[in-house]
Amino acid sequence: MPLGALGFRTASNGGITGALMPNGKMAAALLLLVNSALYLAITVSGSRVLPIEGTKWLPGILSGEWYRLITAGYLHTQFLHVLMNMVGLFNIGPIVEEIYGTRRMFALYTVATIVGFTFSAMWSPGVRSLGASAGIFGLLGALIAYGMHSKSFVARHLQTQCLMNAGIGFIMGGLMPMIDNAAHLGGLIGGFGVAYVAGLPRWVDDTKEKLWGLIALVSLLITGYAFYELTYRVFLRKVG
The closest alpha carbon to 130, from 120, 138, 139, 122, belongs to 120
pLDDT for 149: 84
4-239 in CATH: which number? 1.20.1540.10
Beta-bridge partner residues of 129: 56
Average pLDDT estimate for 81-95: 95
Distance between CA atoms of 176 and 238, rounded to whole angstroms?
A: 35
End-to-end, the C-alpha distance of the chain in Å comes to: 49
Q: How far apart are CA 122 and CA 238, in angstroms?
A: 30
Residues 140-169, mean pLDDT to the nearest whole number: 91
Closest of 92, 121, 122, 124 to residue 109, by C-alpha = 92
Burial class (CB in 10 A: 0-12, 13-18, 19+), 137: buried
Q: How large a percentage of the chain has pLDDT more than 70? A: 88
Summarize pLDDT for 36-52 with one digit per residue, the tens. Answer: 999 999 999 888 899 99
Poorest-confidence range of 19-28, 121-130, 198-207? 19-28
pLDDT of residue 189: 97
pLDDT at 238: 65
Q: Is the pLDDT of residue 79 over 50?
A: yes
Comparison of pLDDT for 36 and 2, the residue scoring more: 36
Higher pLDDT pick, 136 / 199: 136
The mean pLDDT value for 70-90 works out to 96
171 contact partners, CB below 8 Å, separation of at least 6? none
Lowest average pLDDT, out of 9-18, 95-104, 157-166, goes to 9-18
Average pLDDT estimate for 75-79: 95
- Select the highest-mean-pLDDT range: 9-13, 34-38, 178-182: 34-38
pTM for the full predicted model? 0.87
Is the pLDDT assigned to residue 4 strictly greater than 80? no
Residue 23 confidence (pLDDT) = 52
Query: How far from 107 is each of 24, 114, 150, 196, 197, CA to CA, in Å?
Result: 19, 11, 21, 12, 12
CB 190 within 8 A of CB 114: yes
